[in-house]
């Protein structure tokens, strides 16, 4: 089971809160400020090259090119490096279902099954149970780097982290006072979030962009070939056909459909797979196997599903292996735990054939693991590495609050609230860590670009 079971719900809130307070003496909140590269720190370039051995070799130069763009882009692709580094830092042991790759570009907007636009974490490739502060430290570092990329002052960058951590602490405290079922069902409606933005121009612009995205969802983002309702549109070189892999993917989709629970399979049985395209995704995921499948009814009503390879989480070597036979199941289970409104078509599958130990993290053989979902919706415009400078402070607080809600679904909320307290000491510590680790990421990025110049690392 992937969810961390670290508490008994039959202990009172007060008992668990006091246990959290007591933990402060063992793991001081100020200790989270510490970052000093250990003498035996692994070469970050070597970590990335080792990770690349389990990926599609022809795509790695694209991944490296994207990571070369900036220190923030490097951080996005270097989740394995940061996980290794975080293993040398103090750990509370307060485990939650962790995102594992929690940076500001992995949050976004998508519609719930009821059509309500919600804001949430939207990338779970690395999800696994982990000590709660690891996600916060990664989010905080990404905020510092994004702020610097937006030419913000050092003080302003630190303010982003303080705001995010303060919102996280506030959300944990709020949820800790609620009955568990109510806390579990909390969600963030994007329309409500936008309505609270004080700047009139930003609020109006965000509303218009949200409406535009919702219209794009209904038209499937222009992915379907206008000449044929049963073909997807190619966008070379990143979205294209690979005929030699077509049968493999179709078999994996068929296996996925056959394994769905009956109440969801009854819907998909009304569709048939018509076309398959292969897609290069993200920064951290480049090199993993990913494809789109166009399903249609007899009346050409479309449903586009994405099948994406799932490998061992970067957290597992340090936080413990997830006891599941398929990493796609690990991703799906983690997403269902953390997201307030999950895709009803989430599922997992596999392909037959050889699979390396690097792909599984545990054993060889049995093919590749995959998870399946509806095609990911376009993220809330202007969010991520190209975010508008004047929106970043609001976005930092929103990400902190969202992470608190996501962690709250698996955390011992009362104990975590007791440990965090009012959050001032903890926020200062995380801010100090983020500044130090941002400096480390910038140094690693320079070493990475030097490795590219020396031809040690391939680059498109």
pTM: 0.90
Helix%, strand%, coil% for the chain, nearest 5: 50, 15, 35
pLDDT tens, residue by residue, 241-272: 888 888 889 999 999 999 899 999 999 999 99
d(CA 51, CA 125): 14
Phi-psi region for residue 456, left (φ > 0), alpha (ψ -120 to 50) or beta?
A: alpha
Helix axes 133-149, 79-86, angle to 10 degrees: 130
| CA dist list (Å): 300 to 228, 376, 406 | 10, 21, 37
The contacts of residue 184 (CB under 8 Å, 6+ apart) are 409
Give the pLDDT confidence score for residue 226 in this predicted structure: 77
Give the pLDDT confidence score for residue 219 in this predicted structure: 58
Per DSSP, the three-state class of 232 is strand
Residue 433's nearest CA partner among 30, 83, 33, 12 is 33
d(CA 418, CA 12): 13
d(CA 246, CA 241): 8
Give the pLDDT confidence score for residue 366 in this predicted structure: 53
The tokens for 401 are 């609050």
The tokens for 27 are 């793991």
Over the chain (460 residues), what is each successive 10-residue block's mean pLDDT?
56 95 97 96 96 87 94 96 98 97 89 80 95 98 95 95 97 96 89 79 77 65 81 86 86 92 92 91 76 94 93 95 94 95 91 55 62 72 44 89 97 97 97 98 98 93
| CA dist list (Å): 236 to 39, 57, 103, 278 | 45, 18, 28, 10
Question: Cβ(103)–Cβ(434) under 8 Å?
Answer: no
The tokens for 117 are 């636009």
Question: Cβ(136)–Cβ(426) under 8 Å?
Answer: no
Q: Rg (Cα) of the chain, in Å, rounded?
A: 22
Residue 275's nearest CA partner among 337, 233, 308, 320 is 233
Give the pLDDT confidence score for residue 390 in this predicted structure: 61
Question: Cβ(56)–Cβ(454) under 8 Å?
Answer: no
Q: Which residues pair with 96 in a beta bridge?
A: 130
| CA dist list (Å): 39 to 81, 252, 441 | 15, 45, 17
Residue 140's nearest CA partner among 415, 420, 438 is 438
Per DSSP, which regions of 55-104 are E strands? 95-98
Question: Cβ(113)–Cβ(126) under 8 Å?
Answer: no
Q: Which residue has the tokens 């995380």?
A: 430
Q: Which residue has the tokens 């860590």?
A: 433
| CA dist list (Å): 289 to 51, 76, 77, 306, 355 | 14, 18, 16, 11, 13
Sign of the CA dihedral 377, 380, 381, 385?
negative
pLDDT tens, residue by residue, 192-243: 877 877 778 877 877 777 777 666 665 566 788 878 889 999 888 888 888 8
Q: Which residues pair with 235 in a beta bridge?
A: 239
């Amino acid at each position: 089971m992937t969810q961390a079971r670290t508490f008994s719900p039959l202990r009172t809130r007060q008992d668990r809160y006091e246990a959290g307070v007591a933990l402060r003496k063992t793991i001081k909140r100020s200790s989270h400020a510490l970052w000093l590269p250990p003498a035996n720190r692994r070469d970050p370039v070597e970590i990335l090259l080792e990770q690349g051995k389990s990926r599609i070799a022809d795509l790695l130069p694209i991944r490296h090119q994207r990571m070369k763009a900036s220190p923030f882009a490097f951080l996005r692709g270097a989740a394995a490096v940061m996980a290794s580094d975080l293993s040398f830092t103090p750990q509370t042991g307060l485990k939650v279902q962790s995102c594992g790759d929690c940076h500001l570009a992995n949050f976004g907007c998508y519609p719930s099954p009821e059509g309500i636009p919600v804001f949430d974490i939207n990338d779970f490739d690395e999800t696994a149970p982990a000590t709660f502060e690891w996600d916060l430290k990664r989010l905080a570092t990404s905020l510092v780097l994004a702020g610097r990329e937006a030419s913000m002052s050092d003080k302003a960058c630190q303010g982003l982290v303080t705001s995010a951590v303060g919102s996280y602490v506030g959300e944990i405290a709020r949820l800790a006072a609620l009955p568990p079922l109510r806390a579990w069902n909390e969600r963030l409606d994007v329309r409500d979030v936008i309505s609270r933005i004080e700047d009139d121009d930003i609020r109006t612009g965000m509303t218009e962009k949200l409406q535009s995205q919702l219209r794009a969802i209904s038209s499937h983002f222009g992915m379907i070939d206008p000449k044929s309702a049963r073909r997807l549109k190619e966008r070379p070189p990143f979205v294209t056909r690979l005929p030699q892999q077509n049968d493999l993917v179709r078999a994996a989709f068929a296996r996925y459909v056959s394994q769905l629970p009956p109440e969801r399979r009854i819907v998909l049985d009304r569709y048939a797979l018509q076309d398959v395209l292969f897609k290069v995704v993200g920064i951290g995921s480049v090199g993993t196997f990913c494809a789109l499948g166009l399903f249609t009814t007899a009346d050409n009503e479309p449903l586009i599903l994405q099948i994406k390879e799932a490998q061992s989480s970067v957290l597992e070597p340090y936080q413990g292996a997830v006891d599941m036979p398929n990493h796609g199941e690990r991703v799906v289970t983690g997403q269902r735990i953390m997201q307030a409104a999950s895709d009803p078509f989430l599922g997992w599958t596999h392909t037959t054939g050889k699979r390396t130990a690097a792909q599984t993290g545990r054993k060889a053989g049995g093919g590749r693991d995959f998870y399946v979902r509806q095609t990911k919706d376009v993220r809330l415009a202007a969010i991520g590495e190209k975010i508008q400078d004047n929106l970043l402070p609001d976005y930092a607080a929103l990400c902190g609050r969202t992470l608190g809600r996501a962690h709250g679904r698996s955390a011992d909320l009362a104990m975590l609230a007791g440990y965090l307290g009012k959050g001032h000491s903890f926020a200062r510590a995380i801010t100090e860590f983020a500044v130090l680790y941002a400096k480390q990421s910038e140094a690693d990025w320079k070493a990475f670009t030097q490795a590219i110049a020396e031809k040690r690392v391939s680059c498109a």
